[in-house]
Amino acid sequence: MSLVPLLFSDWWEDLDQPHRLFEQNFGLGIRPDQLLNPSIIERMMPQRDQRLRSPMLYYRPWGEMLRNRQEGGTSTVKADKDKFQVILDVQQFKPEEINVKVVDKCVIVEAKHEEKQDEHGWISRQFVRKYIIPEQCDVDQVSSSLSSDGVLSITAPRKEKRSLEFFDLLPEDPKFYDKMRPPKKDGQATVVYFHVTVMGLDSIDENSMTYAADIFFAQTWKDNRLRLPENMTSEYRLLEVDWLKNMWRPDSFFKNAKSVTFQTMTIPNHYLWLYKDKTILYMVKLTLKLSCAMNFLIYPHDTQECKLQMESLSHTTDEMIFQWDPDVPLVVDENIELPQLQLVKNYTADCTQVYSTGNFTCLEVVFVLKRRLGYYLFHTYVPTCLIVIMSWVSFWIKPEAAPARVTLGVTSLLTLSTQHAKSQASLPPVSYLKAVDAFMSVCTIFVFMALMEYCLVNIVLGDSDAPAKPAPPPPPPSSSIADSAKLDKIFDIAAKKSPAGPPPGPTPAQRARIRALNIDRVSRVFFPFLFAVLNVTYWIMFAEYI
């Protein structure tokens, strides 16, 4: 080994440290005492040592880093509540000769330069250091910086807060958790509690027998196979809803639903809670289009019962049972208003069904809807009665006015037919007679009978008309005025001598007209009286439904 490099170096500067000929310090850590400003160190040194120092000597801020003492020689690694940091001395390398990369959860620092000459001779350097990034630090946010005097700093900030992962809830051995099996305890069926909040009922369509409902649907069950998070201090904790795909959940479905719409504005309207006793609550907001079997026998005085049914799809009552929440099973908004129906009652019930494959648990909400009669009273009953009364006007028109009476009767009949068709527009074609059909049919019969009454009047008036008597022939012309005067005297004398006869009676035509007028007079009383009796009977029959 050559002593030349040693002879030409400031060997007196570091007599307090072991000195080796080929010692090359790089890729080392920094000690806290090396962060002091060199000018401060120089003032603190004895006077004799200060004289030994060269006035041209350059001090790096990290100057003492270049010596490998027994307590040094390793990287400086700092980890606090905010970050994880590594500090390395790489003064012997250019920036392009240094490579920092993150592989998996490690930071790898590589530095290499080819052979070059320094104060010791010709030398090539290379080092590789690997640092494991703590789990609480964010691997994706690792950054590095190189100072002007060759100090490399690598920083990995801590994560904001470690989020709870699904596997933190599973048993230590995930093999013991089967998401397809209900969490039965002591062989007893799993109990799932239901709660329904009804926020709206609308779009009730009698023609398709459907209605729409906006609800909050909550299911609660206990799964003792899960583990509680270590940092859980509150009564419950919000979980990721996507975890339900990997957990057991009730396979409930809406039995009488035509379609189900999940609300996504402004965010997906559902959440998942985990309680301290390992109870899970899943709440979701849905818009349902449901079928409702309606009976229109006494329409429009009817009361319908529409149901919301929830049933298990694949679990029998041996494995799972649905029950209503013992505290608050059902909440219905009191401000629900329907245009033609009134929500008079609602209640919960059990609808467990027996199939060939077993008993499947089922719960239902029943809405009792009573039809509002006001709309039909002013749009169906009153106009229909007025049309019937209008047809009776013909009884006051003289029998000879055939065009007026026939036109009035036919117009009333056609108007009533249109009114009847309008009242059936929103209803499905059913095979039985409805109450409104019976009323409209009776009114149609009354209008038709008014038209037939005029036919009878016209027949009576026409068949009794006698043929007119021929006019007497004109007297022959007289020869003279004297003869005419004589004849007048003779007739006057004969008339005075003959006795007076009875007055002449009504002609057949007059008698026929009198009979026709009598028919009209009877109809003026009979038709209104009979129509009033039938109306009273009709409304008495349906008075209990009003």
Q: How many CB atoms lie within 10 A of CB 452?
A: 12
The answer to whether residue 260 is domain-embedded is yes
Residue 388: its pLDDT value, please?
Answer: 96
Q: Where are the alpha helices (DSSP H) in 312-401?
A: 373-376, 382-391
pLDDT at 21: 41
Do the Cβ atoms of 113 and 123 come closer than 8 Å? no
Q: Is residue 24 part of a domain?
A: no
Q: Please give the pLDDT value at position 342.
A: 94
Is 545 exposed, middle or buried, given 0-12, 13-18 or 19+ CB atoms closer than 10 A? middle
Instruction: Look at residue 45 in the predicted model and tell me its pLDDT.
Output: 56
Q: Are residues 228 and 181 in the same domain?
A: yes
The verdict on 363 and 423 lying in the same domain is no
Cβ neighbours, 10 Å, residue 260:
14
Cβ neighbors of 433 (< 8 A, separation 6 or more) are none
Mean pLDDT, consecutive 10-residue stretches, the chain (546 aa), reads 43 46 52 51 53 45 42 62 84 85 88 80 85 84 85 84 71 80 90 97 93 97 87 84 91 96 92 93 97 94 96 95 96 93 96 93 97 92 95 92 91 92 88 94 95 91 58 54 57 55 72 89 95 95 85
Residues 216 and 354 in one domain: yes
Q: Last residue of a domain, which of 371, 404, 429?
A: 371
E strand map for 328-484: 330-332, 341-350, 353-355, 358-360, 362-371
Q: Are residues 308 and 187 in the same domain?
A: yes
How many independent structural domains does the chain possess? 3
Q: Are residues 149 and 174 in the same domain?
A: no
Expressed as residue numbers, the domain containing 379 is 374-465+507-542
Strand, coil or helix: what is 162? coil
For the chain, the residue count is 546
| Residue 538 confidence (pLDDT) | 95
Last residue of a domain, one of 347, 371, 395: 371
Q: Please state, as a whole number, how many other Cβ atoms lie within 10 Å of the Cβ of residue 480.
A: 8
Report the first-to-last Cα separation within the chain, whole angstroms. 119
> Is 484 a domain residue?
no
Could you tell me if 318 and 265 lie in one domain? yes
- Tell me what pLDDT residue 442 has: 95
Does one domain contain both 232 and 313? yes
284 and 170 in a common domain: yes
Nearest to 369 by CA among 418, 420, 466, 304: 304
What pLDDT score was predicted for residue 491?
53
**Contact indicator for 342, 545 with CB cutoff of 8 Å:** no
Using the 3D structure, point to which of 371, 386, 418 is the last residue of a domain.
371
The answer as to whether 473 is a domain residue is: no
- Output the furthest CA–CA distance in the chain (Å, rounded): 199
CA atoms lying within 13 Å on the CB side of residue 433: 7
Strand, coil or helix: what is 137? Answer: strand
Backbone torsions φ then ψ of 509, nearest 5 degrees: -65, -40
Residue 174: phi and psi, rounded to 5, are -60, -15
Q: Give the closest residue to 188 by CA, choosing from 216, 221, 155, 211.
A: 221
Q: What is the CATH number of the domain that holds 269?
A: 2.70.170.10
Task: Compute the Cα dihedral for 535, 537, 542, 543 and give only its sign.
Answer: positive
- The answer on 196 and 138 residing in a single domain is no
Three-state DSSP at 183 gives coil
Q: Mark whether 126 and 231 lie in a shared domain.
A: no
Count CA atoms within 13 Å of residue 180 on its CB side.
2
On whether both 518 and 379 belong to a single domain, the answer is: yes
CATH number at residue 137: 2.60.40.790
* Local structure of 106: helix, strand or coil: strand
Please report which residue ranges of 273-337 form alpha helices under DSSP H. none
User: Would residue 284 be called left, alpha or beta, if left means φ above 0 and alpha means ψ between -120 and 50 degrees?
Assistant: beta
Asked if the structure places residue 363 within a domain, the reply is yes
Alpha-carbon separation of residue 3 from 20, 78, 469 (angstroms): 11, 39, 174
362 close to 255: Cβ distance less than 8 angstroms: yes
Q: Is residue 349 part of a domain?
A: yes
Q: Is 306 domain-assigned?
A: yes
**112 shares its domain with 231:** no
Give the CATH number of the domain where residue 520 resides.
1.20.58.390
Closest Cα to residue 137, out of 155, 118, 112, 114?
A: 155
Specify the DSSP element, H or E, that contains 245: none
9 within a domain of the structure (yes/no)? no
Determine the 3-state secondary structure of 373 from DSSP.
helix
Q: What is the pLDDT of residue 307?
A: 97
